[in-house]
Homo-oligomer: A and B are copies of this chain.
Amino acid sequence: MDIKPMVLIIEDEDAICNFISAILTSNDYQVVKAKTGKEGLSLFTSRVPDIILLDLGLPDIDGVEILKTIRQWSKTPVIVVSARGHEREKVAALDFGADDYIVKPFGTSELLARIRTAMRHSTQSAAAEALGDERFTTGKLEIDYNKRVVYKDGEKVHLTPIEYKLLVLLSRNAGKVLTHDFIIREIWGVYTDESHTLRVNMANIRRKIEENPGAPQYILTEMGVGYRMVEELDEG
């Protein structure tokens, strides 16, 4: 059996700190506590923990700054602990290289699961990303991502750039509902209200690829939510 992994907790509130510490020690982790950002950084360099739990609401240094400092020279996994509602800070932390986040309140098993996951990620070097399939088919519709060509019933279909981008987005996520906002962010980048444009584009795509655009079989509308491309055609 391995040596106990060491966890550094950077957290100013005693109650939470003790709570986490109690959970971890009874689950075979070694715990080091820091009550301020300064102390945390110094303990980080002196003790070299395997993983860090970092509260974002520290009194002395902004949590994101601590993270940046750590990331300057180390890849040690950092799990950010944030209060509900502080979404912005949380996202910023992830942007700067936090590995995961956990929102207060959390449960024992949730905390342990996240720590396990983060540790696993760090030991396993980044696995190669699976290469995407180069082709997509449903019913009489076929997309060749390589050639950037779409066939309907064997015949080439002409799509404009946005139309193609949309179709690829949908097909790469076939079976899944994509929300309007998500689609718009993916296609147009920053979010501006392009919902109407999106609707028109959808209509145009459907006119080109659907047998009967009024009753689409490939791209379905999920009212109030978004669109979904079907994976397989089966129903009558």
Contact A106 B73, CB 8 Å, known A15-B45, A45-B19, A45-B22: yes
Q: Which residues of A contact B (CB under 8 A)?
A: 13, 15-16, 18-19, 22-23, 26, 41, 44-48, 50, 70-76, 97, 104-110, 113-114, 117, 122-123, 126-127, 129-131, 146-149, 160-161, 175-177, 222-225, 228
* A–B Cβ pairs within 8 angstroms, 19 of them: A15-B41, A15-B73, A16-B73, A19-B48, A19-B73, A22-B47, A50-B108, A71-B105, A72-B104, A73-B106, A74-B105, A97-B105, A107-B122, A109-B127, A110-B127, A147-B175, A147-B176, A160-B223, A161-B225
Q: CA A109 – CA B46 in complex, angstroms?
A: 17
Contact A177 B160, CB 8 Å, known A72-B104, A122-B109: no
Known: A13-B73, A26-B48, A110-B130. 14 other contacts (CB 8 A): A15-B45, A72-B104, A73-B106, A74-B104, A76-B108, A107-B122, A107-B126, A109-B122, A110-B126, A117-B130, A147-B177, A148-B176, A148-B228, A161-B225
Q: CA A16 – CA B69 in complex, angstroms?
A: 11
| Of B18, B73, B148, B224, the contact of A46 (CB 8 Å cutoff) | B18
Q: CA A109 – CA B131 in complex, angstroms?
A: 11
Dominant secondary structure at the A interface: mixed
Residue of B nearest to A15 (CB): B45
- Which residues of the partner chain B approach A72 to less than 8 Å between Cβ atoms? 104-105
Q: Is A224 within 8 A of B161, CB to CB?
A: yes
- Which residues of the partner chain B approach A26 to less than 8 Å between Cβ atoms? 48
Q: Is B48 within 8 A of A108, CB to CB?
A: yes
Q: Is A74 within 8 A of B109, CB to CB?
A: no
Q: Is A148 within 8 A of B222, CB to CB?
A: yes
